[in-house]
Structure 1
Amino acid sequence: MADPRGFMSTPREEWPRRPVEERVRDWNEVYVPGALLPIISRQANRCMDCGVPFCHDACPLGNLIPEWNDLVSREDWRAASERLHATNNFPEFTGRLCPAPCEAGCVLAINQPAVTIKNVEAAIADRAWEEGFAPPCPPERLSGRTVAVVGSGPAGLAAAQQLTRAGHTVAVYERADRIGGLLRYGIPAFKMEKRHLNRRLEQMRAEGTKFRTSVTVGEDIGAAELRARYDAVVIATGATAWRELDVPGRELAGIHQAMRYLPLADRVCEGDLEVSPLSAAGRHVVIVGGGDTGADCLGTAVREGAASVTQLDIYPLPEAERNEFTQPWPTYPKIYRLTGAHEEAGALRTAPAADADARLFAASTLRFEGDPDGHVRALHLVEVDERRKPLPGTGRTLPADLVLLALGFSGPDREDGLIDQLGLALDPRGTITRDEDFTTNVPGVFAAGDAARGQSLIVWAIAEGRAVAAAVDRLLNGGASRLPAPIGPYDRPMTA
């Protein structure tokens, strides 16, 4: 603990965002480049080095937060990088994309603004790459055992990197034309520029991980053939079966799932397309769903030049501060948060009728209305109470010629045949069942990430990848493994 009074003398200061008018004209990250390093040592000094650091429990990776906060406050970036990478394969991802449950669990957050843990993490990761503190770590010798990882999101990539470093020969299968899963096609570039992903993938290639793109397991290669070819298989395909909205007019043209819309914008940034075929330019956009995916759609539509954008959230407007009775510390509270996309929409007034920024809270979609050509033109909604019951006399109509459904995901997609060909058992939620060692009902086949856990956060996905790697390593080594296993398959976030 470098400064015992740092948390009393230094106020919280976050990574500043670029001006709205500037950043909505490009797809670069919203933060001011280089503005984090001048403030981050002081912010790390705010860490109290608690005797019982609850930030550890709040983060499924078990990140050694007080340790690397202390090292950053002393500007020992090499040691900080070593401590950070000891528990997290991809801190440059989590430092940008994770909603930071660790900060909700910060002891300082009991009565003060929490330590900027997420910003410190991003600063360490970026400095590690700049200074060469994250070189490839190929194994000293190969085990002669082989593993196939199906899916290249954060869970699959974490599992692949851990197993490769343990000496196994690992091949990652991805049905898209590029590696990364939703990190590649789903997360907008203004939240995380793809150079961070590309750089990490080059490190993994140098370590020995093999990547097989444009291969749909279940179609291009049979699941049984894949299982026969490798000593173990890890299913990390994510929860890509999206939820539907069963209301009149759903069949109208112009209503699309968010995960049809977002990847096209990413492909424009990759240079594959000049313009997205679902571009929001000049259109009245309504986003149904109040979560992170909806916010990603919001920021994307603003950058594409939408005539208006409104986001519907069925939940009531959250409180500005934690409710200590219903959401006590150190749980992650549902409070009003202003993401970069919401800040942009509010400043540009993309939805003049919204309750706050671009959002309508406690709003439920009743039906869609179309024109004679069968294209959506309006969305009819009603306000609801806390039990989601419609409130009489609160009906409203919004103009809408592009509707994006961001209602979450129920489990892995089964259309490719992978699950059925292997005969994997599913639970009532539609996710893959597994035992305490992450093994499915099929010998030698493991499941990790959202495909088995259900829709979750990136830190949980990486933790699952690291834990399943340890389980696979134990199988291949006859019961022993030196790989860390930060969580079990039945662990869940802390709740009240």
Structure 2
Amino acid sequence: MGSVTGFMDHRRNAGNYRDTDERIKDWREISVLPPDRVLREQASRCMDCAVPFCQNGSELAGMTTGCPIYNLIPEWNDLVYRGRWKEAYERLSRTNPFPEFTGRACPAPCEGGCVASLANEPVTIKNIERAIIDKAFEEGWVQPKIPSERSEKKVAVIGSGPAGLTCATVLNQHGHQVTVYERADRVGGLLTYGIPKTKIEQEVVDRRIRLMEQEGIRFVTNVEVGNQVPLEQLQEDYDAVVLCIGATRPRNFEIPGREAAGIHYAMDYLHLNTKSYLDSGFQDQAYISAENKDVIVIGGGDTATDCVTTAVRQNCRSLVQFDIYPARPKARSAENPWPQFPVIHQVDTGQQDAIAKFGHDPREFATTALEFTYDDRHRVSGVKSAEIKTTIVKGGEKIREVIPGTEKVWPSQLVLLAIGFEGAETESLGIATDQRSNVEVMGTTYQTQRKGVFAAGDARKGASLIVWAIQEGKEAADECHNYITGKTS
């Protein structure tokens, strides 16, 4: 590294966000990158650490640490520090096909494994990654990579989320003719309809799709494979099929009163809001509105935070978020050592938005819902909650018990369920699934029990991070390429 003392000379500067009072009034991207000078200083904090845990993705204690895409992080950090931005972009592009997505939507497990955090704080890897690709687009360095030769092989990729787009990109670069099928009316999967535009503006997604089309990839929208087009038909028409359909079946919360109107799955709420915004700027009113309603979000993850972000901008009357976990410590506990992902108290941008509007953090920790109440029209009117105690027994199993006397009823006319997902929607595909309802594959080949049909991303792995989806897309594409060309891994 050019500056071996950078991590001591400069404090961590994670970048800026637009002022909360202003940003909650619109749907534009909220993050703002610092100037080049600051970015170069931050890149200089990357240590000459010999063993860069940041670039080797792994799972420790059930959490991801390091980069599953195997980004060459210290190398492009050094190039940014030296002001060699184009070379940094070229190095970043060797491993990551979509840094404009990961630099905005990834929770940065690379920073959790950063060696500099042992001395003080981790390098701002995510910001630097985004800065590299943003500058590359601004300077015109990002150009379509059109394969010089074409094979006679055709592959259908089902789903246009991160895994599907990655798989299509890799197969196209191998020279195969790739068609991507998407059941929604726009390409992008969760990048388009699952993540609020405050994190990824649609032009960022569309810009990449245009490049992929110029590279020869064909996109077909408004087609649901399995229902409108049988999977068997695609097997006849293509040399291989890759399922990148995500883990989109939401987990239900079956407590008394669940059937009341006004209780929605989080992804339905987020999808309809974004679609109405993109279609008409909300003029069609074809979305679930939180305006002047008491909103309760059940869940503590990223999707729940996205619901908080959205409800605040819809001008909700009040907002409460139930998090089943107790409040995290402010620093790593002895049970959460480096290089595990740090399980510490954080105030995400969604909670910051709620604080700006209501003056307090919306989260109620160690809290669960017991019952939904409803009015004479059978519309939800409130949620009965209680505090819970969580005990971890031998083997890591969590035993949760309601604490008597802590029951409370919260008024609510809109409840959003953001408690996770239960696997892929495979009913119409006739594909075998495992015990977790994920698409079952044979060994490490990514191939299902149907010859020539592969699976990758959340559909195979279960709901996970965008970086795992991208890596799965790369590996599945290589397995598919080997299959249709008769090569071995």
Q: TM exceeds 0.5?
A: yes
Within 5 Å, give how 1:430-449 maps onto structure 2.
Answer: 430-434=437-441, 435-449=443-457
Q: CA deviation at 1:268?
A: 2.6
The aligned counterpart of 2:371 is 367
Letter in structure 2 aligned against 1:429:
R
Matches of 2:147 and 2:362 in 1, distance apart? Answer: 50
Within 5 Å, give how 1:2-151 maps onto structure 2.
Answer: 2-32=2-32, 35-57=34-56, 58-151=66-159
Question: CA deviation digits over 1:399-433, x for unaligned, max 9?
Answer: 10000000110100135x02x2xxx2211110011
Q: Say whether residues 1:341 and 2:353 are aligned partners.
A: no
Q: CA deviation at 1:358?
A: 0.9
Aligned length: 469
**Percent of aligned pairs with the same residue?**
46
Q: CA deviation at 1:81?
A: 0.4
Question: CA deviation digits over 1:160-180, x for unaligned, max 9?
Answer: 011111100000000001101
The aligned counterpart of 1:211 is 219
Contact 1:367 1:379 in 2 (8 A): yes
Letter in structure 2 aligned against 1:409:
F
Question: CA deviation digits over 1:58-114, x for unaligned, max 9?
Answer: 111000000000000011111000111100010010001110000000001123110
Q: CA deviation at 1:480?
A: 5.3
Question: CA deviation digits over 1:367-416, x for unaligned, max 9?
Answer: 0111111110110000000132000111111110000000110100135x
Question: CA deviation digits over 1:284-337, x for unaligned, max 9?
Answer: 1000111100000000000010001111011111111111x2111111122111
Question: Bigger CA drift: 269-278 or 340-349?
Answer: 269-278
Report runs of 4+ in structure 1 exceeding 3 Å deviation: 34-38
- SS for the counterpart of 1:271 is helix
Matches of 2:113 and 2:259 in 1, distance apart? Answer: 44
Contact 1:24 1:302 in 2 (8 A): yes
Question: CA deviation digits over 1:334-375, x for unaligned, max 9?
Answer: 21111111111122226x6xxxx1101100100011111111
Q: CA deviation at 1:276?
A: 4.4
The aligned counterpart of 2:59 is none
Q: CA deviation at 1:234?
A: 0.3
Q: Say whether residues 1:468 and 2:476 are aligned partners.
A: yes
Using structure 2 for the length normalisation, give the TM-score.
0.94
Q: Say whether residues 1:332 and 2:344 are aligned partners.
A: no
Alignment equivalent of 1:183, drawn from 180, 184, 191: 191
Structure-2 change in CA distance of 1:297 and 1:36 (3 Å): farther
Letter in structure 2 aligned against 1:377:
S
Contact 1:313 1:359 in 2 (8 A): yes
Question: CA deviation digits over 1:24-51, x for unaligned, max 9?
Answer: 000011123x535342111001001321
Question: CA deviation digits over 1:204-254, x for unaligned, max 9?
Answer: 000000001000101211110011110010000000011000100000010
Please, which runs of 5 or more residues in structure 2 have no aligned partner?
Answer: 57-65, 391-398
- SS for the counterpart of 1:410 is coil
Within 5 Å, give how 1:309-458 maps onto structure 2.
Answer: 309-323=319-333, 325-349=334-358, 357-386=361-390, 387-415=399-427, 417-418=428-429, 420=430, 424-434=431-441, 435-458=443-466
Letter in structure 2 aligned against 1:253:
A
Question: Bigger CA drift: 452-461 or 313-322?
Answer: 313-322
The aligned counterpart of 1:283 is 293
Contact 1:284 1:401 in 2 (8 A): yes
Matches of 1:63 and 1:176 in 2, distance apart? Answer: 31
Within 5 Å, give how 1:130-279 maps onto structure 2.
Answer: 130-272=138-280, 273-274=282-283, 275-279=285-289
- SS for the counterpart of 2:400 is coil
Q: CA deviation at 1:151?
A: 0.5
Matches of 2:122 and 2:371 in 1, distance apart? Answer: 42
- SS for the counterpart of 2:402 is coil
Contact 1:150 1:156 in 2 (8 A): yes
Question: CA deviation digits over 1:108-151, x for unaligned, max 9?
Answer: 11231100000000000101111112110010010110100000
The aligned counterpart of 1:488 is none
Matches of 1:37 and 1:344 in 2, distance apart? Answer: 27
Structure-2 change in CA distance of 1:49 and 1:194 (3 Å): farther
Matches of 1:31 and 1:259 in 2, distance apart? Answer: 23
- SS for the counterpart of 2:16 is coil
The aligned counterpart of 1:494 is none
Matches of 1:320 and 1:35 in 2, distance apart? Answer: 26
Structure-2 change in CA distance of 1:466 and 1:36 (3 Å): farther
Letter in structure 2 aligned against 1:144:
E
Matches of 2:46 and 2:220 in 1, distance apart? Answer: 43
- SS for the counterpart of 1:326 is coil
Letter in structure 1 aligned against 2:189:
G
Matches of 1:333 and 1:437 in 2, distance apart? Answer: 32
Matches of 2:233 and 2:485 in 1, distance apart? Answer: 23
Contact 1:104 1:329 in 2 (8 A): yes
Contact 1:189 1:269 in 2 (8 A): no
Contact 1:314 1:388 in 2 (8 A): no
Q: CA deviation at 1:4?
A: 1.5
- SS for the counterpart of 2:273 is helix
Matches of 2:449 and 2:488 in 1, distance apart? Answer: 21
Please, which runs of 5 or more residues in structure 1 have no aligned partner?
Answer: 482-496
The aligned counterpart of 1:486 is none
Question: CA deviation digits over 1:425-455, x for unaligned, max 9?
Answer: 2111100111211111111010000001001
Contact 1:173 1:213 in 2 (8 A): yes
Alignment equivalent of 2:311, drawn from 281, 295, 301: 301
The aligned counterpart of 1:491 is none
- SS for the counterpart of 2:272 is helix
Contact 2:276 2:287 in 1 (8 A): no
Matches of 1:37 and 1:316 in 2, distance apart? Answer: 39
Question: Bigger CA drift: 273-282 or 397-406?
Answer: 273-282
Matches of 2:77 and 2:372 in 1, distance apart? Answer: 51
Matches of 2:318 and 2:434 in 1, distance apart? Answer: 41
